[in-house]
Amino acid sequence: MHPAHRTAALACAMALFCSLASAKTLVYCSEGSPENFNPMLNTTGTTFDANEPIYSRLVEFKPGSTEVSPALAERWDIAEDGKSYVFHLRHGVKWQSNKTFTPTRDFNADDVLFSFERQWKDSNPYHKVSGGGYDYFNDMSFNKLLGSIDALDPYTIRFTLTAPQAPFLADLAMDFASIQSKEYADALQKLGKPEQIDQVPIGTGPFELLQYQRDSTIRYRAFANYWGPKPKLDALVFSINKDPAVRLAKLRANECQVMAFPNLADLPAIKADATLQLLEQPGLNIGYLAFNNQKPPFNDRRVRTAINMAIDKKAILQAVYQGAGQPAKNLIPPTMWSYNNEIQDFPYDPEQARKLLADAGFAKGFETDIWAMPVQRPYNPDARRIAEMMQADLAKVGIKTNVVSYEWGEYRKRVQAGEHQMAELGWTGDNGDPDNFFIPLAGCAAARPGGGSASKWCNQDFEALIDKAATLNDQAARAKLYEQAQVIMHQEAPFYLIAHSVVFMPMRKTVVGYEMSPFGRHQFDAVDLQ
Amino acid sequence: MFRFLITRISVVIPTFVAVTFLSFLLIHLVPGDPIETRSGEHGITPERLAELRHLYGFDQPLWRQFLHYERDVASGDLGTSIVTQDSVWHAFLQLFPATVELSLCAILFAVLVGVPLGVIAAVRRGTTFDYGLMGVSVTGASMPIFWWGLMAILLFSVTLGWTPVSGRISDAMFVEPVTGFMLIDCWYSDDAGACVSAARHLILPMIVLGTVPLAVVARMTRSAMLEVLNEDYIRTARAKGLSAPRVVVIHALRNALIPVVTVIGLQVGSLLSGAILTETIFAWPGVGHWLVESVQRRDYPVVQGGVLLIATLVMLVNLTVDLTYGLLNPRIRR
Q: Please determine, for residue B330, whether its predicted confidence score (pLDDT) is greater than 80.
A: no
What distance in Å separates the CA atoms of residue B33 and residue B35, rounded to the nearest whole number? 6
What digits encode the pLDDT tens for the residues A179-209? 999 999 999 999 999 999 999 999 999 999 9
User: Searching chain B, which residue's CA lies closest to the CA of residue A12?
Assistant: B176
Task: Using CB atoms, pick whichever of A9, A21, A43 lies closest to residue B172.
Answer: A21
Specify the DSSP class assigned to residue A73: E
What distance in Å separates the CA atoms of residue A415 and residue A289, rounded to the nearest whole number? 12
User: What type of residue is A130?
Assistant: S
pLDDT at A247: 93
Q: What residues have CB less than 8 Å from A68, skipping those under 6 apart? A: A59, A60, A61, A62, A169, A170, A172, A173
A240 with B283: Cβ contact below 8 A: yes
User: Searching chain A, which residue's CA lies closest to the CA of residue B292?
Assistant: A242
Q: Please determine, for residue A451, whether its predicted confidence score (pLDDT) is greater than 80.
A: yes
What digits encode the pLDDT tens for the residues A386-432? 999 999 999 999 999 999 999 888 898 899 889 999 999 999 998 99
Helices (H) and strands (E) in chain A, counts: 18, 20
If you average pLDDT over every residue of chain B, what do you get? Answer: 85
On chain B, the residues whose CB falls within 8 A of the CB of A412 are 36, 39-41, 43
pLDDT tier at A248, thresholds 50, 70, 90: very high
Q: How far is CA A198 from CA A37, A148, A180, B56, in A?
A: 5, 25, 9, 19
Task: Using CB atoms, pick whichever of B86, B94, B158 lies closest to residue A249.
Answer: B158
Specify the DSSP class assigned to residue A331: S
What digits encode the pLDDT tens for the residues A459-517? 999 999 999 999 898 999 999 999 999 999 999 999 999 999 999 999 999 999 999 99
pLDDT, average across residues A43-48: 89
pLDDT, average across residues A372-378: 90
Q: How far is CA A457 from CA A2, A306, B44, in A?
A: 67, 17, 18
pLDDT tier at B332, thresholds 50, 70, 90: low
Element (H, E) at A496: strand A495-508
A41 with B85: Cβ contact below 8 A: yes
pLDDT, average across residues A296-306: 97
What digits encode the pLDDT tens for the residues A268-279? 999 999 999 999
Q: What residues have CB less than 8 Å from A63, skipping those under 6 apart? A: A515, A517, A523, A526
What distance in Å separates the CA atoms of residue A258 and residue A505, rounded to the nearest whole number? 7
A10 with B189: Cβ contact below 8 A: yes
What distance in Å separates the CA atoms of residue A304 and residue A297, rounded to the nearest whole number? 8
Provide DSSP, A155-222: TEEEEEESS--TTHHHHHTSGGGPPPPHHHHHHHHHHT-GGGGGTS---SSSEEEEEEETTTEEEEEE
pLDDT, average across residues B50-72: 88
Task: Using CB atoms, pick whichever of A14, A239, A407 lies closest to residue B167.
Answer: A239
Q: pTM for this one?
A: 0.84
Taking CB atoms and an 8 Å cut-off, how many pairs form between chains A and B? 153
What distance in Å separates the CA atoms of residue A168 and residue A431, rounded to the nearest whole number? 10
Are the C-beta atoms of residues A12 and A99 closer than 8 Å to each other? no
Nearest to B165 by CA among B282, B285, B284: B282
On chain A, the residues whose CB falls within 8 A of the CB of B189 are 10, 14
Element (H, E) at A237: strand A235-240
What distance in Å separates the CA atoms of residue A386 and residue A436, rounded to the nearest whole number? 26
Q: Please determine, for residue A145, whether its predicted confidence score (pLDDT) is greater than 90.
A: yes
B31 with A425: Cβ contact below 8 A: no
On chain A, the residues whose CB falls within 8 A of the CB of B31 are 406-407, 409-410
State in Å, rounded, how far the first CA of chain A is from the last one. Answer: 42
A43 with B42: Cβ contact below 8 A: yes
What distance in Å separates the CA atoms of residue B107 and residue B266, rounded to the nearest whole number? 11
* CA B238, chain centre distance (Å): 40
pLDDT at A9: 47
Are the C-beta atoms of residues B137 and B113 closer than 8 Å to each other? no
State in Å, rounded, how far the first CA of chain B is from the last one. Answer: 8
A25 with B172: Cβ contact below 8 A: yes
What distance in Å separates the CA atoms of residue A271 and residue A285, rounded to the nearest whole number? 24
Which residue of B174, B200, B281, B295 is the best one to mutate when testing the A interface, meaning the one whose CB has the most A CBs within 10 A?
B174
Q: Please determine, for residue A290, whether its predicted confidence score (pLDDT) is greater than 50.
A: yes
Nearest to A174 by CA among A207, A127, A134: A134
What distance in Å separates the CA atoms of residue A237 and residue B174, rounded to the nearest whole number? 11
SS3 (DSSP) at B106: helix
Q: Strands A366-371 and A399-404: what pairing?
A: parallel
Are the C-beta atoms of residues A201 and A209 closer than 8 Å to each other? yes
User: Searching chain A, which residue's CA lies closest to the CA of residue B173?
Assistant: A21
Q: Give the count of beta carbons closer than 10 Å to the beta carbon of residue B141.
A: 15
pLDDT at B177: 84
pLDDT at B328: 62
Are the C-beta atoms of residues A104 and A172 closer than 8 Å to each other? no
Q: ω into residue A381 within 30 of 0, thus cis?
A: no
Backbone phi, then psi, for B264, in 5-degree steps? -65, -40
On chain B, the residues whose CB falls within 8 A of the CB of A119 are none
Task: Using CB atoms, pick whichever of B31, B285, B289 lies closest to residue A213.
Answer: B285
- Rg of chain B on CA atoms, in Å: 24
On chain A, the residues whose CB falls within 8 A of the CB of B83 are 35
pLDDT at A243: 86
User: Searching chain B, which residue's CA lies closest to the CA of residue A246?
Assistant: B281
What distance in Å separates the CA atoms of residue A213 and residue A188, rounded to the nearest whole number? 22
Q: How many CA atoms lie within 13 A of B97 on its CB side?
A: 15
A412 with B41: Cβ contact below 8 A: yes
What distance in Å separates the CA atoms of residue A96 and residue A54, rounded to the nearest whole number? 9
pLDDT, average across residues B208-236: 88
Task: Using CB atoms, pick whichever of B153, B157, B176 lies closest to residue A10.
Answer: B176
Q: Please determine, for residue A126, whether its predicted confidence score (pLDDT) is greater than 60.
A: yes
pLDDT at A205: 97
Q: Please determine, for residue B37, whether its predicted confidence score (pLDDT) is greater than 90.
A: no
On chain B, the residues whose CB falls within 8 A of the CB of A250 are 165-166
Q: Please determine, for residue B244, whether its predicted confidence score (pLDDT) is greater than 60.
A: yes
pLDDT at A18: 46
A215 with B286: Cβ contact below 8 A: yes
